[in-house]
Amino acid sequence: MSTLKEAEVGQTVTVKKLNGEGAVKRRIMDMGITKGVEVYIRKVAPLGDPIEVTVRGYELSLRKADAEMVEVD
């Protein structure tokens, strides 16, 4: 089991599960990151924050803390 934070640049991963609750989970889901969706890792900033991804055709930036809550395959 790994998280979005651990995924490599250039990799496409499938979301398995969202951890966390309340506003944080809602914010991640509002970005279109939900179970079963594919996420492409475009770029990770030098210090690992933010992580830039493509989800459902949209380019997004995720904070490292948010990326840790997304379990992927």
Domain containing 7 — which CATH number? 2.30.30.90
Instruction: Report the percentage of the chain scoring pLDDT > 70.
Output: 99
The SS3 call for residue 27 is helix
What band does 57 get if pLDDT is binned at 50, 70 and 90? very high
Domain of residue 53: give its range. Answer: 2-72
What's the total number of domains in the chain? 1
Q: What are the tens digits of pLDDT across the range 5-40?
A: 999 999 999 999 999 889 989 999 999 999 999 999
Check pLDDT > 80 for residue 1.
Answer: no
